[in-house]
Amino acid sequence: MTLLPPTVEQQRRIDDVLPPDPEMRKRDIAAIREWLAKQPHLPKHMDDKRLEHFLFGCKNSIERCKLILETYFSARTALPEFFANRDPLARDIQDNCDVIEYFVLPKLTEEGHRVTILRLKETALERFSLTAITRRILMVLDIRLQEEASLTNVMIFDLKGFTAGHFAKCVPTQTIVKKAMLATQNSMPFRLHRIYYLNAPTFIGSVLNIFYPLLKEKLIEKFRIHTGDGEELHPYIDKDILPNEWGGKAGTFSELNEAWRLKIEKHRDWFLREEKLSRTNESARLPTSKSLIAKELDGVQGSFRKLNID
């Protein structure tokens, strides 16, 4: 599955938000490498292209990029539930691809947003694993970090087939849920524009009320809840870029899901290598360099209001 680059008009809109400056970008990357060289606990193998994508996702802020890089590497050491055993051919990943349709659409929106969709393919509750879902999401995000610099993202959750039992596995009172939130939202340089919930059940308000106290108001403002199907997205997203079942031309849910299954499988060697390289050496960490992810895990029973969402 190829992530198509921006059109001329899309690139213009992206440049309006973050004006390109190649010379400044080179100086910024050099500054980040200089900082990395002074951090004995952090790996140094990341190439310039991926560092540029990190920097772009951090709105060209060097300081924020340093923060996200520190968390990116620290999370891979502190959260083995999601970052160990990332073999795309492993049974839990393959089973998850059979149960959950999760994929990134090939084309950007007119505004330059990248769109990701998650929906149930099978509704059997015993096959619904939040750990496997999170591991797979993070694998896809890692592939995107290699391939593109993303301005902002749109997330679509199709809740068709979700039951109270599925939601019960996702409530934030569970430690695994809080860890998943840390891993997906704190350790990646992806900014969120909008979250759409489709086919929302009547009890969705009660479910979201559990999360609201733990989230920044700025994130909650990005939620859009719809009781209907994908056609309700047409006023907001060019329908041609959507899956066929929602009136688009991107391909069927099954085709898009399979394309991303194959994509992560093609990156198998990279994942197995990165699992060893992209880790912190905690014994070499300087006393003045504290792990932010460790601090969050120490307070995992507390508030998650520090999640990065802009």
In DSSP notation, 112-129 reads: SEEEEEEEES---GGG--
Q: Where are the alpha helices (DSSP H) in the chain?
A: 8-17, 22-37, 48-57, 62-78, 80-83, 91-99, 130-147, 164-168, 175-186, 204-211, 217-220, 253-266, 268-277, 292-298
Strands 100-104 and 113-120: antiparallel
Ordered by start, the domain boundaries in the chain are: 8-82+275-292, 91-268
Distance CA 178, CA 161 (A): 24
22: CB partners within 8 A, 6+ apart: none
Supply the pLDDT for residue 182. 85
Classify residue 212 by its DSSP letter.
G
Contact 90, 222 (CB under 8 A): no
* Residue 147 dihedral angles phi and psi, to the nearest 5°: -100, -25
**Which of 195, 133, 198 has the alpha carbon at shortest distance from 162?**
198
* pLDDT tens, per residue, the chain with 310 residues: 789 999 999 999 999 989 999 999 999 999 999 999 999 999 999 999 999 999 999 999 999 999 999 999 999 999 999 999 899 999 999 999 999 999 999 999 999 999 999 999 999 999 999 999 999 999 999 999 999 988 899 999 999 999 989 988 888 777 888 888 888 888 899 999 999 999 999 888 888 888 777 677 888 899 999 999 999 999 999 999 999 999 999 999 999 999 999 999 999 999 999 999 999 999 999 887 777 787 777 765 444 444 444 4
Q: Is the CA virtual torsion 21, 25, 26, 31 positive or negative?
A: positive
How many C-beta neighbours within 10 Å does residue 44 have? 10
Q: What are phi and psi of 155, to 5 degrees?
A: -110, 130
pTM of the model: 0.92
Alpha-carbon span 143 to 297, nearest angstrom:
26
pLDDT at site 113 = 95
Report which secondary-structure segment, H or E, holds 195: strand 192-198
SS3 223: strand
The packing angle between helices 175-186 and 62-78, to 10°, is 140
Give the pLDDT of residue 303.
46
CB under 8 Å to 141, separation ≥6 — which residues? 184, 188, 190
Contact residues for 183 (Cβ-Cβ < 8 A; gap 6+)? 75, 79, 82, 83, 134, 138
Could you tell me which CATH class the domain 91-268 is placed in?
alpha beta
